[in-house]
Amino acid sequence: MADLEQATAATGPMAAWTPVRQRHRSAGGYLFMPVLLALACGAMYVYVSSRELDSIEARSLNAATLGTAVREHVQLTALSTVLVILVAVPLGIVLTRPFAARVRTPLVAVLNLAQAVPTIGILVLLAVSFLFLGFRAAIVGLVLYAIVPVLLNTMVGLEQVDRTVLEAGRGMGMSRAEVLRRIELPLSVPVMAAGVRTALVINVGSATLVTYINAGGLGDVIAAGLSTNRLSIQLVGAGLTAVLALLIDHLAGIAEDLLRPRGL
């Protein structure tokens, strides 16, 4: 564990792994955020309804346009995070095995360096290098940008499992694969879930930038407000993005609580 923390700390501040909350919340704690977000959405609705919208504002601030933007944003966030999990978790497992000790530190350093590049830079590089835009390019860019938290948390979660517990499993006749499946992974779930939660929030924010490669999402609304100098459109686009990020973070926190093994 100490070796892993030293190796990751050496790669810079982005290498810090996501901490895990230790206590479950009360029922009121689970309900507070949804109520607050509902009030925020209600306030935006009242704000827009009370204004006399011009034709430009009316084109952006209607239910159909906003609904499509939110749906596209959710699709971008969900698919990119699923792909991050499918790539980062197996890679994290491989990198914690003894045979991968030599490549672990340089690979983590490279990934942290990649995450230091602004999201828009990654998207532009994809567009220039591979000449493709739209949804697929956005997914690739989001996966590259959000893979580090899940990878590092997977590694830290596996490394923090007590070695004596693993030895006890081997002493009971379990194979290495069984120890991994029945002991290491279940005990690592809380830390891994915290990394996934971080990746989700990163992807919600980063997905606003994919509008510049024609991939849709709430970034379209914000960009429309910026290009037409309409503050109301900008506020609604940014407000919905913030609400979506907080809602997804809240739901991921509930999942994190439910997935935590009893006694942890």
For the chain, what are the domain ranges? 26-259
Q: Choose among 17, 235, 221, 212: nearest CA to 126.
A: 212
* Among the four given CATH numbers 3.40.640.10, 2.20.25.90, 2.30.30.40, 1.10.3720.10, the one describing domain 26-259: 1.10.3720.10
Question: What pLDDT does residue 17 have?
Answer: 54
Question: Based on C-alpha coordinates, what's the Rg of the chain?
Answer: 21
pTM: 0.81
Q: Nearest 10 degrees: CA dihedral of 19, 79, 89, 252?
A: 30
Question: What pLDDT does residue 140 have?
Answer: 87
Question: What pLDDT does residue 2 have?
Answer: 40
Q: Which residues contact 77 (CB under 8 A, 6 or more apart)?
A: 142, 200, 203, 204, 207, 244, 248
Question: What pLDDT does residue 263 have?
Answer: 54
Question: What pLDDT does residue 16 have?
Answer: 47
Question: What pLDDT does residue 108 have?
Answer: 81
Q: In whole angstroms, how far apart are CA 206 and each of 90, 139, 191, 260? A: 24, 11, 23, 28
Question: What pLDDT does residue 14 have?
Answer: 39
Question: What pLDDT does residue 264 have?
Answer: 53
Q: Residues of the chain whose pLDDT is less than 70?
A: 1-27, 120-121, 124, 126-132, 261-264
